[in-house]
Structure 1
Amino acid sequence: MMTPGSKLGGRYRLDRRIATGGMGDVWRATDEVLGREVAAKVLLPSLLNEPGFVERFRGEARVVATLTHPNIVRVYDYGESPMPGGGQVAYLIMEFIDGEALTARLQRQGRLTAQEAMPIIAQAAEALDAAHQRGVIHRDVKPGNLLLSPQGNVMLTDFGIARSALTGGLTQAGSVLGTAAYISPEQASGQPITGQADVYSLGIVAYQCLAGRRPFDSDNPVELAMRHVNDAPPPLPDDVPEPARRFVAQALAKDTAQRFPTGEAMAAAAREVVGMAGPAVVSSPARGAAVPPPGVGLDDRTRVNQALDPHTPPPVAKRNRLMLVVAGAALGLVVLAGGVWAIVDGGGAEAGDGGSDNTTQSADAEEETLLIDVGEYVNEDPQQVQAALQELGFTDVEIDGNGRFVADITPNGEQLPGTPIVIETSMTRVNPGDSQDPSAPDGSPSCTPGTIGCIPR
C-alpha cells in the first residue's frame, strides 16, 4: 500500500492522497527531479493482475500524452514501480491545475447567461477539435470533465474512455462506458461514431448551462439514452437569446449532417453567438486543482435494444450518475473508467476529495465539500467503498442491507464531510434496464449479451 512519502520511479514523492475511486488513488505529489507539483494516479494493485489491463492502460497513456493543447490537461509520464513490501504499481503523472469543475459552478450558480456559457463551450470545442485531429474521440464530455482555471482557461480532462482512431480502439474487451445524460444518438443506437459524437455531448453541456438543467433525465439509463435518439429537447428558457438557441439546436441535431461538422466549427459558432473574435477567455475565480485520471480506452459502440414512445415527455428525475455499461459477447472484464478529479484550494491550502470527479472548496465557506461519483463505486464491495469514503473524510457512512455489491450511494454529488451517507447494496450486480434471473444462484443476468446493462459473467 502506498503511503505519504512513498516514491514512484525514484522520482515522484507522494505527499497526500486526494482522491480514490474504482481504478485507484490520486495523489498530490512532487517531482523531485524538476521540483514541481504534479498529480499521480496510482492504479489498484488488483488491476495489475487482470489480463491485458496494464497493456491497455499503457496504450491509453501513450495516446493521451500525444495531445498537446492549451485546453487539454497534460500527461507527463507513465511508469511501473515496486511497491513498499513487494509487488508492482502502475501510475500516471499528470499536470496539477488550479481551478474548479464546471459542475461546481453550475451547482453554485444554477445557470449561466449566454455571455458566460459560450466562451466555455468555445474553448472546450477547440480542445475537442485538437483531440479529433489526432484521431482521439473523447466520448465522455460532460461538465465534470471541464475545468475552469483562474487564468480564464477551460481545461478538458479525463480521456479515460477515449477511443483512438489511430489504433482502432484502445481495448479489445468490447465494452463501452459512457454517461447516459450526455451520450450522442449514434452512440446510444450502436452506430459508428466520429468526433461529432463529442460535438453533441458538448451541446448537451451548453443546453445545461443555459437552462440550468439537462434536456433529458431519467432514473433508467436505458430510457435516458433512448431519449437522445427519439426525443426533441424541451425549449430553452424564454430569456435565452435566439442566436444561442440556434447554436444549441444545431449542436443537438440528431442527424449528423445537420450538426456542426467539427469542433472548430462549433467553437467558431459559439464565439459568434456572443460576438467574440479569436480564442475565448472565461472568467473564473480560483478554486483549486483538478486531476484527471486517464483510465482504460474502450470500444466505440453503445447498443440500446429497448424502444420507447418518442412522444413520451422526459420526466424530471434525480440525477443518475451510474455509468452505461455495454458488454459484448466476448467481454470477460468490465473495467471502471477513470473519472477522478481532485480539487484543492487554489491558494495552497489542502482539501480532501470525494472519490471520483472533483472536490471543490467554496470561496464562501471554510469547510470543504467532497464529491461522490456513484459510477466509480457501483458493483464494488460495500465494505471497501465504506472504508474509502471514510478515508476521504466522510464521518457518517452506513451500509444499507447485506448485499454483495454497491447499487447506489445517497446522497451523492458534492457533500459536506459530516453529511450522512448511505451505501445501498444488492445481492447481484447492478444491470440497469435488464432483469435478473432469480433462479440463477450466482446472480447471472437473464439479459442478452450486447445490450445495455448486460454484463456476462
Structure 2
Amino acid sequence: MQSLSVSSRYRVIRRLHVGGMAEVFLAVSEGTIARRVVIKRMLPELARLEEMRLRFAEEARLLSRLAGPGLPAVYDAGEDEEGPFLIEQFIPGLSLRELLDAAGPLGSPEVAAILVQALTILSRLHEARDESGRPLDFVHRDLAPENLLLDPEGKLWLLDLGIAKSRESQVRTQAGIRQGRAAYMAPEQLLGRKALAASDLYALALVGAELSGARLAGVPVHGDTTPAAEIERLARMEAAERAHWPDECDAELRAVIERLLTCDPASRVTHAGALAALDEIAEASGLSRRVMEALDAAGAEGRASPRTAVLPGGIAGSEPVKKSAVGRKKVAFGLVALTALAGGIWGLNRGEIAPESPPRSTSESVKTAVIPEGKVPVRVELPEPGVFALYLDGRALGQASGSRSIQVDPGTHTLLLTEESTNRYYREDFLTRLGETRLVRFPLGWEGDQESTQQGEKEDE
C-alpha cells in the first residue's frame, strides 16, 4: 500500500466506535470543499499480524470492486505513519439493531421493504464478475442487524465487509473455523463448511424474522464457548425451530422467510423468488397509521424532527394504503423517521458490533447484589496454559493468564487476546447490561494460526 498521511488531509471530529478490527472516526476533509468521511484505523495490536493486514486491505479492495448502490464508496486506502487506514463515505443513519431497540418489532410491509432492498444489494454482489467475465463468487458471511443501516432517506446500506470472501481473496480461512456470528449463521457455516451465497440469504432471513418480532432460538450468549453438541443441534434445526414467531406474525411473510431457512442450501428459495414474494407483500400491504403519521411529521424535506413530532400508539389503520414502487420506498423512509422520533438517536456507521441473545441460564448471566455504580463486572476466562496480552476496545490491559476480572460501562465491547511470541489472536465481541455479571470465555482454537490457515487453504477454495 502507498505511504499516505491522513492527518494532513483530514481533520478528525470524533471517534465513532471501536470494532473488532479497527477504530472508526468521523472526519472532515481539509480544503475549500469540506466533505465528511469515515476513517477506519486498524487496531495497532492487529496491524502486526500479516493475516489481519491482508483482511483489512481485502475490505478496501472489495468495496472498490463492488462499488454501487447500498455500499459506501471508498475514497482512499493505504498506510501512513500510524498504520493501515481506509477512507469511506460517511453514511448517517440507524442500524437495524438500533431500529429494533428504539421502535420494537416492525410490521410486515416495513420488514418486506427492508428485505427487498437487502436482497437487491446481495443479488448484485453475488452475481458480480471480474474483468474477464468470470464470477467473483462473493459471499458476505456476516450479515446481521448491526451491519445493515437505514439512512434518513430510507435507503439501506450494507456495511463492514471485513470477513467477506471472493474467489480473488488473498485471505484463507482455517479449515473448520466458523467465520461470522453464530446467531445468524447458516447450518453449513455452523458445521465449518464453505459459505455460499445461499448462506447470506439464510442470515438475511433470520434478520427479517427478528425484525418481525421472532426470537432466534438455540444461540448461546455471545462470548461463551459453544460445545460441539450445541453447534450440531443448532445446525440441524428446521426453520420453525430456528426462529420462534409471535402469534400475531404475518403468515405470508413468515412463509417466505421460512423458505430461506431450510437446512439444505440447495432447497432455499432463490434471490429472484424471494424478491418476487417480498415485493408482493410490500405492494399489497398497507402502511400502519403509526408509520404514516411519522411520515407526515418528517415533513417535505424528508428529515424527522424529534422536537415537534409525537408518536401515536401504533394502531393499524382501518384502510390499507396501496403502494406503488415509490410507495415502497416511503415505507423504508418512514421506518427511519419513526425510529429517529421514537429513540431520538442516529447511529453512525455502526457495523462491527456483535448481536446478543437472551441468556439461557443463570450461569451465563447472573444477577449480582453489589456492583460499582454505573459499571458491569466481567469475568474473562483465558486458555490454559499460557500468558497473553489482553486488549479492551483497543486499550491494552496488560498480560494475563488463567482468568481476570474487569469492570466496564454498559454497552458493547470488544476483547482481543494475543500471544506475543506468535501471530495467534482471538477476538470476542460482547454486550453488557447493568445489574448483570458477564462471562467471556475464550475457546482453545485460535483464529490467527498462520500454519493452520495454510493447511486449511484447499477446503475453503
Q: TM-score, normalised by structure 1?
A: 0.63
CA distance in 2 between counterparts of 1:265 and 1:319 reads 42
Shift of 1:90: 0.8
Which of 337, 349, 355 is the equivalent residue of 1:291?
349
Q: 1:239 corresponds to which residue?
A: 248
Aligned residues: 345
Sequence identity (%): 26
CA distance in 2 between counterparts of 1:290 and 1:241 reads 31
Q: 1:200 corresponds to which residue?
A: 202
Instruction: Report Cα offsets for 1:101-154 as digits up to 9, x if no partner.
Output: 111121223312212211111111111112112232111111111112121111
Of 229-238 and 126-135, deviating more is 229-238
Q: 1:360 corresponds to which residue?
A: none
CA distance in 2 between counterparts of 1:318 and 1:115 reads 35
CA contact (8 A) 2:108 2:282 kept: yes
Opposite residue 10 of structure 2, the aligned amino acid is Y
Q: Residues 266, 318 of structure 1: CA spacing in aligned structure 2 closer, same or farther, 3 A cutoff?
A: farther
CA contact (8 A) 1:411 1:421 kept: no
Q: 1:431 corresponds to which residue?
A: 443
Q: 2:172 corresponds to which residue?
A: 171
CA contact (8 A) 2:213 2:245 kept: yes
CA distance in 2 between counterparts of 1:111 and 1:242 reads 15
Q: 1:455 corresponds to which residue?
A: none
Q: 2:159 corresponds to which residue?
A: 157
CA contact (8 A) 2:432 2:438 kept: no
CA distance in 1 between counterparts of 2:20 and 2:382 reads 9
CA contact (8 A) 1:217 1:319 kept: no
**Runs (5+) with no aligned partner, structure 1:** 1-5, 84-88, 296-313, 322-369, 391-398, 435-447, 451-457
Provide the secondary structure at the position in 1 that maps to 2:280: helix
Which of 259, 266, 269 is the equivalent residue of 2:268?
259
1:90 aligns with 2:84: yes
CA distance in 2 between counterparts of 1:291 and 1:30 reads 15
Opposite residue 270 of structure 1, the aligned amino acid is L
Of 187-196 and 246-255, deviating more is 187-196
CA contact (8 A) 1:382 1:404 kept: no
CA distance in 1 between counterparts of 2:45 and 2:393 reads 18
1:21 aligns with 2:19: yes
Q: 1:41 corresponds to which residue?
A: 40
Shift of 1:270: 1.5
CA distance in 1 between counterparts of 2:87 and 2:349 reads 10
Shift of 1:408: 10
Instruction: Report Cα offsets for 1:381-436 as digits up to 9, x if no partner.
Output: 7874288499xxxxxxxx9x97567899785449999958967577xxx118x8xx
CA distance in 2 between counterparts of 1:107 and 1:319 reads 23
Instruction: Report Cα offsets for 1:190-231 as digits up to 9, x if no partner.
Output: 333321100000011111112342243334535554344212
CA contact (8 A) 1:386 1:423 kept: no
Shift of 1:76: 2.2
Between structure 1 and structure 2, the one with the greater Rg is 2
CA RMSD of aligned residues (A): 4.5
Opposite residue 290 of structure 1, the aligned amino acid is L
CA contact (8 A) 2:96 2:148 kept: yes
Provide the secondary structure at the position in 2 that maps to 1:63: helix
Q: Residues 449, 417 of structure 1: CA spacing in aligned structure 2 closer, same or farther, 3 A cutoff?
A: closer
Opposite residue 259 of structure 1, the aligned amino acid is R
Question: How do 1:18-417 residues align onto structure 2 when only pairs under 5 Å count?
Answer: 18-32=16-30, 34-83=33-82, 89-134=83-128, 135=136, 136-165=138-167, 167-168=168-169, 170-171=171-172, 175-219=177-221, 221-222=226-227, 225-232=231-238, 233-234=240-241, 235-262=244-271, 264-275=272-283, 278=325, 280-281=328-329, 282=332, 283=334, 284-285=336-337, 286=340, 287-291=345-349, 317=360, 384-385=391-392, 388=395, 403=402, 412-413=411-412
Q: Residues 172, 120 of structure 1: CA spacing in aligned structure 2 closer, same or farther, 3 A cutoff?
A: closer
Opposite residue 212 of structure 2, the aligned amino acid is L
**Runs (5+) with no aligned partner, structure 2:** 129-135, 284-322, 365-373, 414-429, 446-451, 455-461
CA distance in 1 between counterparts of 2:159 and 2:75 reads 14
